Structure 1
Amino acid sequence: MLPETFKDWASLLAVLLSIGALVHSWITSKAKVNAEHLKIVDEKLIDHDRRVQAVEGELKHLPGKDDVNDLKLSIAELRGTIGRLDESLNGISRTVRRVEGFLLKEGD
């Protein structure tokens, strides 16, 4: 009776081992797929990190809001100066035309 009991237990143990091997294979196959997916995600993350660092490096060279505001104020001041010069040149232009007209009349 001992060999038959051993045979029954051995067959039960073989079935359990095969089921365990099947479950282990199924779990590790999912892990391999996940590992490959994580590897791809890590590569993309590294690529995005490099791109963000490049953008941050370029942003350091761009003017800030205070610089742009100073530039706007300087341009407004320059417009005022050009407007005053334009008025002065208009006066000089009228004077030159009057002198030219006088000289043309006197030259005849």
Structure 2
Amino acid sequence: MEAFDVARNVISVATGLISIGTMIYVWLTSQSKVNEADIRDLHKKVSEQDGRLQGFENALKNMPDKDTVHDLDMKVSELNGQIRVVSESMKAVERTAQRIENFLLDQAKK
């Protein structure tokens, strides 16, 4: 019976070790599944951010550079100067039209 008791003790210890090993394996794999879900979420967020970054890069490519903006500023300044000249000419035309109107009104009174 002594061999039977030793075998039973060995089996009992082996069963305990297997149980502890199983618990450790379950604990490690459960953490792995949580980490896998976290990694999947992070991958999804990185993909979304990559899409947004591509949008910003495309928008930036289509924006004018400093030379183009400077040229546009110069052309607007030139147009403002031309508008001032036209405005002065229009004042002269307005004065002439006023004189003609006054002349015609004086002629109508006579």
Matched residue, 1:48: 49
Structure 2: which amino acid aligns with 1:94?
Answer: R
Q: Deviations over 1:20-79 (max 9, x none)?
A: 110110010010111012112212211221222123223322223332232222212211
Which amino acid counterpart does residue 85 of structure 1 have in structure 2?
Answer: V
Q: Give, as a single letter, the amino acid of the residue that structure 1 aligns with 2:87.
A: D
**How far has the Cα of 1:97 moved from its partner?**
1.7
Report the residue type matching 2:11 in the other structure: A
Gaps (5+ residues) in structure 1?
A: none
Match of 2:95 in 1: 94
Identity %: 34
The number of aligned residues is: 108
CA RMSD of aligned residues (A): 2.0
User: So what's the TM-score if we normalise by structure 2?
Assistant: 0.80
Distance of 1:100 and 1:43 partners within structure 2: 78
Structure 2 matches for 1:14-25, cutoff 5 A?
14-25=15-26
Residue aligned with 1:63, SS: coil
Give, as a single letter, the amino acid of the residue that structure 2 aligns with 1:97. Q
> Following the alignment from structure 1 to structure 2, what is the Cα–Cα distance between the partners of residues 54 and 97?
59
Structure 1 Cα separation of the partners of residues 103 and 83 of structure 2: 30
TM-score, with structure 1 as normaliser: 0.81
- In the alignment, the residues of structure 2 paired with residue 44 and residue 76 of structure 1 have an alpha-carbon distance, to the nearest angstrom, of 47
Query: How far apart, CA to CA, are the structure 1 residues paired with 2:19 and 2:54?
Result: 52
Counterpart of 2:17, as a letter, is: L
One-letter identity of the residue aligned with 1:43: K
Distance 1:78 1:95 in 2: 26
